[in-house]
A and B are shown apart, each in its own frame.
Chain A
Amino acid sequence: MRRFAIFHLLPLLLAAQPDFFGYFETEGDAMQLNTETYAFGYNKLRLGMESRPNEHVLIGANINIQQYWGQTTWNLFDFIPGYSELDLQMPMNISDTLLLDNVYMTLHMPWADMTVGRQQISRGVGYAWNPTDIFNSKSLLDPSYEQTGVPGVRVDIPLMYNLSFSSFIQPEMDWDLSAKQIWFKSTLLGFDVELTAAQTQWPYWTALSTLPPVDKRLWGASAVGEIAGIGAWIESGRYTMDGLDTHGEFHHLWDEVVWGADYTFENSLYVLGEVLFNGLGEVNKRNVQLNNYFQSFEGITRSLMQNYVFVYASHPTLDYVTLSLLSISNLNDYSATVAPQVDWNIYENTTISLQSSFFFGDNDTEFGIQDWGLRLRVRSDF
């Protein structure tokens, strides 16, 4: 699929005299973990191209060039409570990248839209978590950051005025190995309602084990609208997982649910809250094992534990200066992080963001293991 995209769509795009756009982003980070302070960051150029050879066709691509500095090799055990004091090594190296993030062609036909190629797939109505998204995992400290492209074919078919059908297939060598998702979207009582089903091969096991991926299926639904003037949404997924482990065949079933609400006050203060229930997560921190951490780091599981609360508030306090506060709480191990942020749109298309993060909880908890973090980011769009 990737070869198809590079060899066929990219030259086609460049030959079509596209519009170029994108951004340059530079970030510097500092954090304290287990009494050690680390400094790291990156410089990133994201170059986007789009061309419309005619009104029915859109060809687009995004290329990321990212160069890292400072601490680029991490020992994953340093992030795991109980293991950080041991002399164990699992190095993870972050190297400079040149990534063809997206390259796609969209055909707008009277009866359907079809997008072929590596493309961004953003599923679900939740802000911090999306239980109906099998393709992405989000950074909780920056949930609205763009997602990495997924190679595949997407088809959107409007069936009637407020009912549509969509499908996405990420083709692999055979049908069973191919990830696929379908969803119906409609409007009911003022709510946007979606029903979805998906199937994928899931690397439930991490680098620590050599077992093959397992078959994961999803039945999900979401609704977004308002109740008494307050924005409200729910997104839920029922997952089943079938596979083989060292004890033989196994079958797991669990639910993931996100409830959310938001409101903007007369003084422009915007507040958003979300609650996550992840049936696959552990309830007691004593039951959290090494593999749980690795699965969480790699985005294989939605969360390490079962119950979380996410709160975000922002206010445009001064001309082009927005103050915001983000907090994530783990209700099972009683740890949390609070991250105040300042965004200053200093010039047109240029924003400086400063985020600090403070971590609370015992040293053997998900967030308590870290002390603090600081992030300075400058981004200029073109």
Chain B
Amino acid sequence: MKLKLFIFTVLISTSSFGADDLAKQVVQAVTDLMSPVNSYSVGTQTIRTSSGKIRTFEFEGWSANKGEKTLTRYTKPAAIRGQAFLMLNHADDIWTYFPRTKRVRKLASHAKKQKVQGSDFTYEDMGGGDAFLTEFDASYLGEHVVHDINCHQVLLMGIPAKDPPYPKMLLWARVSDMFPIQIDYYDENDFNNKTLVLNNIQIIEGVPTAMKMVMTDHKEHSSTIMETLEVTYKWDPPADFFSERTLKK
């Protein structure tokens, strides 16, 4: 009986270790795939509000050091043309530039949870980085078919001491290449308040790239589509590119 119990315990531990290991592998792969070393892109951001009104923004974006540094500048519509924000240290430090007054303003961390231009993405969502690895405990939930694709499903539980952006997330990544295709974000009441779906995945310069990302807010019944019109991963940032000087250019 003691031997049986020992074997059972070992099996459970091994199985549990294997699942957690796989969860970590998936999260590591997702983090790597979503954070290319450097990039330059041109894209659109289309917001559909809860009342069905649609507004489209156009922007240029630069990213370096696996998303640790990003700079985004809006080119359309005219009302916010030239408005830009610089995020360093994975959006821990944010500066915005207002061309109308030629002012640069440092934002406090409370701004990270704010919607970017009224969209369903927060500054934190756009900050990239390794938050999935460092601020969450990952558990493997098995293989599931999502959007007709066989996926690994991983549960990410926020580590309170690390101040995670969300208390809980569910992640689906393709079994074939670990590319994420859906993330569900949960609030403190375990309500799935946002869902991000990544599609039209193309290989650009050897890097799998979601040319379209749709964030849906289930609480406010709004959605935001981010479409990539142009992207390159061969852009090398000049020295001191991610600075207030470039922000104002």
- Chain A positions near chain B (C-beta within 8 angstroms): 21, 23, 58, 108, 113, 120-122, 125, 144-147, 156, 158, 161, 164, 185, 190, 192, 224-226, 229-232, 262-264, 266, 268, 316, 319-320, 348-349, 351, 381-382
Given A146-B101, A316-B118, A319-B49, A351 contacting B79 (CB threshold 8 A):
yes
Q: Are the C-beta atoms of B245 and A113 separated by less than 8 Å? A: yes
Nearest opposing residue in chain B for A145, CB measure:
B101
Q: Are the C-beta atoms of A319 and B77 separated by less than 8 Å? A: no
A21 and B99 alpha carbons, distance in the complex (Å): 12
Any chain A CB within 8 A of the CB of B218? no
Q: A231-B108, A262-B108 are in contact. List 14 more A-B contacts (CB 8 A).
A: A108-B249, A122-B102, A122-B103, A147-B101, A158-B240, A226-B108, A263-B108, A264-B114, A316-B118, A319-B50, A349-B79, A381-B77, A381-B78, A382-B78
A382 and B80 alpha carbons, distance in the complex (Å): 10
Nearest opposing residue in chain B for A264, CB measure:
B110
**Which of A146, A268, A319 has a CB less than 8 Å from the CB of B115?**
A268
**Which of B101, B111, B245 has a CB less than 8 Å from the CB of A120?**
B101
Q: Please provide the chain B residues from 83 to 119 with a CB less than 8 Å away from any CB of chain A in the complex.
A: 93, 98, 100-103, 105-111, 113-115, 118
Q: Are the C-beta atoms of B102 and A225 separated by less than 8 Å? A: no
Given A316-B118, A319-B49, A381-B79, A263 contacting B110 (CB threshold 8 A):
yes
Q: Are the C-beta atoms of B108 and A348 separated by less than 8 Å? A: no
* B77 CB, min distance to chain A CBs, angstroms: 5
* B125 CB, min distance to chain A CBs, angstroms: 15
Those 10 A-B pairs whose CB atoms lie nearest each other, nearest first: A231-B108, A226-B108, A381-B78, A319-B49, A381-B79, A349-B79, A120-B102, A264-B110, A122-B103, A319-B51
Residues in A neighbouring B244, C-beta threshold 8 A: 164, 185
Q: Are the C-beta atoms of A225 and B53 separated by less than 8 Å? A: no
Q: How large is the interface on B (under 10, 10 to 19, 20 to 34, 35 or more residues)?
A: 20 to 34
Identify which of A125, A144, A264 gathers the most chain B CB atoms within 10 Å of its CB. A264
Secondary structure of the B contact surface, majority rule:
mixed
* B139 CB, min distance to chain A CBs, angstroms: 27
A122 and B31 alpha carbons, distance in the complex (Å): 40
Any chain A CB within 8 A of the CB of B232? no
Residues in B neighbouring A161, C-beta threshold 8 A: 240
Residues in A neighbouring B144, C-beta threshold 8 A: none
Residues in A neighbouring B113, C-beta threshold 8 A: 264, 266
Residues in B neighbouring A147, C-beta threshold 8 A: 101
Residues in B neighbouring A226, C-beta threshold 8 A: 108-110
Q: Are the C-beta atoms of B107 and A231 separated by less than 8 Å? A: yes
Q: Are the C-beta atoms of B109 and A21 separated by less than 8 Å? A: no
Q: Are the C-beta atoms of B245 and A156 separated by less than 8 Å? A: yes
* A183 CB, min distance to chain B CBs, angstroms: 13
Q: Are the C-beta atoms of B106 and A268 separated by less than 8 Å? A: no
Any chain A CB within 8 A of the CB of B81? yes
Nearest opposing residue in chain B for A270, CB measure:
B114
Any chain A CB within 8 A of the CB of B150? no
